[in-house]
Structure 1
Amino acid sequence: MSGLSQMPANGSSLHDPARKRPLFWETAFSGSDPDALSEIWSTPNSPIKAAAQADAPIAYRCNFVSTEELAIADCAYDGTISIRREAPNGKLIIFLPLEGNAVFDAGKEQFHSVPGCGTILGAGRASGARLFGRRRHLGLFVDQARINRQLGHMFERTIGGDTDFHPTIDLTTGSGLVLEQLAVNLYRGLSGDGPLQQSPLALNALCDAMIYLLLETCPHRYSEALAAPASAPAPRHVKWAIDFMREHMAEPISLSDIATAAKVSVRTLQQGFRQFRNTTPIAYLHELRMLAAHRDLRESGTRQAVADIALRWGFTHLGRFSAEYRKRFGQLPSQALKR
């Protein structure tokens, strides 16, 4: 794969200040200080420590282009650098090498990364890396929540947890080659004055295409289920129940209310959700409310309090809501509110 265009000036911003929710932004960094590199890569929930081997000189330049649920970085390094991640970051990370050698740690396993061989690290697996000599790669960072949402659409049920992708991917042929080409096009389309800045629909379609390509062609926890014949369509009473939940999820509805709206008994309703949604009606309603709270937290900025949003969607115990929200989305509600 040929090299990418030169990086823009340090700290350039792509977002329109008039927008309530910026679609994307771009930031470039360069330097030779390992502590500054640590700060660049760290997030509040997932600190990272970078160090140079034997205090030998290093150099780096990194350009990040980010959307709300996906980021892509073009990074180049010189010198031997070790990187240790001190906490999971809630993102699937894909490294697409363009030059040089690296080793990535995932728990007790190690994976060599050279041009032609990509590395896929799950949200909870990336623990560190070592970069040797001259190294350049593209890094894709995808929110696990977005991947789970697209899996949910494919299965028509709620999906949670890590996807457990196979950690290596051949970039010289097949889906790996296409993935690398899509990533390069995404980077070029967003950086500088790229055309994707003016087309959020095309941007979203390209991001979806990359995720579906991964889900349909790369081995992971749900591959066998995706390859199996599709299950029968959900019966009408399950669909009626879901419609009723969506229309009244801000109200204190009960299981009996849902069954009445679906025109079946509570037992039949529960059986239908177990068979066709792999969950219970109340758990499904709870997930709808959690997703609604997540949307409001991301959209409201600092205009509303976390407690107000939680109460709006029926979460009366703020501590329990915060703990569950962090487990589900990888950050506290207050952190999503300030985003």
Structure 2
Amino acid sequence: MGARAWAALPRAGELLTTRTAARAASIDEAHETVSGVFCDHTLAPLERREVRMSLRSVHDSGVGIDVLDYGEAVRIGVPGGLEDFHLVQIPLRGRATMEVGNAVVHSSPSVATVPPLDRGFVMRWDAGVPTLICYAARTRVRAVAQAVYGVDDERLQLGLHLQLDSTEGSDFLRALLEHHDVLERATADGAYARKLSSDLLLTRLLNAVDNSVSRSLGSWTSAEPVRVTPGDALVRRFEACVEDGAARGLGVLELAGLLGVPLRTLQSHVRAVRGTTPTALLREAQLRHARTLLEAADPQRETVTGIAQRAGFTHLGRFSIEYRRRFAESPAETLRR
């Protein structure tokens, strides 16, 4: 997905197809349904008296995806802000607006709105504007921000919009759609895959949207390249624990936490010493761990999909491609041996 990622947005009917849609034909019924998933708000029609609302949702461990369409033009008000969760709202077609004080954000398939937590806001959605929504509990975003930046900010604030037609916005959208696929095929043994996918999604969100922590640490983007020696101690410590981390189902954020450094510090050191990223080194360790699991597995009782998820791979097709490139055979061939 390139810089024009918004052009490749799926249709609403292609999303959350395994989930039963909640439907409502009246304003009161739609208000009650949406309040139960998000928070209390005001809802009023702008043209017709009634609506044709459809809502599909899946939430897991504080991160979720929703597809909401009121069918008709509506005005939505949240007087006190969202308080304890963040939303990223992407119109799949059409347009909407969000007013926060004197600020007005015009959203479209290339611009997402990010409503505030501590200020009231009003949204106006045109008729026929199905909206893809990324839900993230405030505590989850704060924890990931601390892991990424090394700063625990209780008052973490996100900007009011996210440009999907930027490189960072494209990365976020790709992570959102991949997390959608992970949630759609959720299995009992896929908890680690879901956690890894959600951490990546929130990391991409923080990288794509203006936020109070990255703004205060503007030196991250303009600082001189980190100066390290070939035997950099942090890189040695990371490489010493990466195999165990892969076997224990740890992600890069968690490994950085165990090493006692922000993710960006670890990234700078690994890039300077190895010319690659911690994620790439962890992915190599995960591939080796997956091969060990496949070689030891009983093909009558285990599957490639289950083993891939246990090894931390959330996208089976990409796992198969990377595995074949690394070991010159498919995961299925290893499992059958």
The two structures have a TM-score, normalised by structure 1, of: 0.56
**1 or 2 for the larger relative contact order (CA 8 Å, sep ≥6)?**
2
Q: CA RMSD, aligned part only?
A: 2.8
Query: Aligned pair 1:29/2:22, yes or no?
Result: yes
Change in Cα spacing, 1:68 to 1:164, as seen in structure 2 (3 Å) is same
**CA contact 1:78–1:133 (8 Å) conserved in 2:** yes
Partner of 2:194 in structure 1?
A: 203
Larger proportion of strand = 1
**CA contact 1:38–1:49 (8 Å) conserved in 2:** yes
Partner of 1:3 in structure 2?
A: 11
Residue of 113, 116, 119 corresponding to 2:113: 119
Residue of 148, 154, 165 corresponding to 1:160: 154
Distance 1:154 1:205 in 2: 14
Change in Cα spacing, 1:205 to 1:226, as seen in structure 2 (3 Å) is farther
Q: Following TM superposition, by how much is the alpha carbon of 1:122 offset from its aligned partner in structure 2, in angstroms?
A: 2.8
Amino acid of the structure 2 residue aligned with 1:84? G
Structure 1, gaps ≥5 residues long: 10-25, 232-339
- More off after superposition, 219-228 vs 140-149: 219-228
1:119-158 matched pairs, under 5 angstroms: 119-125=113-119, 127-158=121-152
Partner of 1:77 in structure 2?
A: 70
Amino acid of the structure 2 residue aligned with 1:204? K
* 1:27-77 alpha-carbon deviations (Å, 9 max, x no partner): 631122111111122159941121212543421211011113112101223
**CA contact 1:196–1:203 (8 Å) conserved in 2:** no
**CA contact 2:35–2:41 (8 Å) conserved in 1:** yes
Partner of 1:312 in structure 2?
A: none
**CA contact 1:27–1:63 (8 Å) conserved in 2:** yes
**CA contact 2:25–2:53 (8 Å) conserved in 1:** yes
Q: Secondary structure of the residue that 1:36 maps to in structure 2?
A: helix
Q: Secondary structure of the residue that 2:203 maps to in structure 1?
A: helix
Structure 2, gaps ≥5 residues long: 1-8, 227-337
Q: Secondary structure of the residue that 1:118 maps to in structure 2?
A: strand
Residue of 199, 210, 213 corresponding to 1:219: 210
Distance 1:217 1:35 in 2: 36
Q: Secondary structure of the residue that 1:166 maps to in structure 2?
A: coil
Query: Aligned pair 1:104/2:112, yes or no?
Result: no
**CA contact 2:161–2:209 (8 Å) conserved in 1:** no
**CA contact 1:120–1:169 (8 Å) conserved in 2:** yes
Distance 1:154 1:124 in 2: 23
Change in Cα spacing, 1:126 to 1:138, as seen in structure 2 (3 Å) is farther
Distance 1:197 1:75 in 2: 27
Work out the number of aligned pairs and report it: 212
Distance 1:201 1:181 in 2: 19
**CA contact 1:96–1:117 (8 Å) conserved in 2:** yes
The two structures have a TM-score, normalised by structure 2, of: 0.56
Partner of 1:40 in structure 2?
A: 33
Distance 1:96 1:37 in 2: 20
- More off after superposition, 129-138 vs 38-47: 38-47
1:236-255 matched pairs, under 5 angstroms: none
Amino acid of the structure 1 residue aligned with 2:137? D
Partner of 2:253 in structure 1?
A: none
Amino acid of the structure 2 residue aligned with 1:187? H
Q: Following TM superposition, by how much is the alpha carbon of 1:226 offset from its aligned partner in structure 2, in angstroms?
A: 3.9
* 1:65-102 alpha-carbon deviations (Å, 9 max, x no partner): 11131121012232111111243331111012211111
**CA contact 2:115–2:121 (8 Å) conserved in 1:** no
